[in-house]
Amino acid sequence: MKLQHTFLFLLILSSALAIAQPNRKPDDSKGFLAHDPVMIKEGNTFYLFTTGGGVAKSNDLEKWERIKPVPSKLEWVTEDIIPGYRGGYWAPDIQFLNGVYYLYYSPSAFAKNTSAIGVMTNTTLDQNSPDYKWEDQGMILKSIPGRDFWNAIDANVYFEKKWGGEVTGWLSFGSFWGGLKLVKLAPDMKSLAEPQEWYTIAKQERTFGMPDTDPGDGTIEAPFIYRRHQYYYLFVSTDYCCRGLDSTYKVLVGRSRDIRGPYFDKEGKPMYAGGGTLIAEETEEYAGIGHCAVYDFDGKTYFVAHGYDKNDKGRSKLAIKEIEWDRAEW
């Protein structure tokens, strides 16, 4: 990873999100391999989680050390639950609430909405601690072809904290099909609230007449919700990942004053109707970039994503950039 190289984010007049260029050194000569990265900080240590259960740690967001992966054998996943499942899971999300770390994950078959979202918990991320132990809490929800016009992958959870200490969990997820969904979690953050509360928060145009079992061409996935002052920002990835040098991944963003939406882009177009302000796409360094997460660490806001490295046969690399904001909070 060469974080000091220009990332070439689009700077749209009067601003969309402006991504600064901090002077960072590469963690090694070819970059740190990572796919679907998410991050959290415990004490003075940053922890990175990726598709497949990979884990790494760093003290400075520059040099990363791979450590023991998260367990990826899921006893609750059977052929009946996910036909065509080949093991492991995709696109984790790591969150912390009331002394517990929640790692949300998605076992899935490729290019089918035979998918599910589960969660495992831990009380520490320090692998040297006697308390370190991941405990799988099982499935939260699943998608079934022909029944559900959505895909249960790419989980992101936002803990909405209100006055008085009340916390509401919101699970956003999805890819292709009918777009990205938002569903309310129960207080245990491991199951759906009842009665269920669902919203469509973003989608892209899909060719009419495609079978419901086909992901189609409405390319959108990997939602991530981030709050700043009075706005909730919804980051999404569009076009195609996972094709090496042929990847066309890019990142769009919109915002809302209500976590349930609707989310609008800078031009006022709703994201449920194909809107989204473009903030990252192909550069001289990356064929495509996406599946982002956004965090506040030590008084700064960071954009964390993976990009397909043109200088290394399109391999997926970790990219981290600082976000800056204009006066209109874009």
pLDDT block averages, 10 residues each, the chain of length 330: 38 35 41 96 98 96 97 90 89 97 94 94 98 97 94 97 91 97 98 98 94 92 97 98 96 98 98 97 95 97 97 96 95
Q: Is 281 part of the annotated catalytic residue set?
A: no
Res 1: pLDDT? 39
| Residues, the chain | 330
Q: How far apart are alpha carbons 286 and 181 in whole angstroms?
A: 29
CB atoms within 10 A of CB 279: 25
Q: Can you list the domains of the chain with their CATH numbers? A: 18-324 (2.115.10.20)
Fill in the DSSP letter of residue 83: T
Q: What is the pLDDT of residue 28?
A: 42
Annotation says 36 is catalytic = yes
Beta strands across the sheet bearing 286-297 = 18-19, 315-324, 300-309, 286-297
Beta-ladder partners of 221: 175, 237
3-state helix, strand, coil in the chain (%, to 5): 0, 45, 55
DSSP-assigned letter for residue 193: -
Q: What residue type is assigned to position 188 of the chain?
A: D
The pLDDT value given to residue 163: 83
Integer Rg of the chain from CA: 19
Q: 27, 93, 154, 221: which one is catalytic? A: 221
Catalytic residue among 36, 265, 281, 282: 36
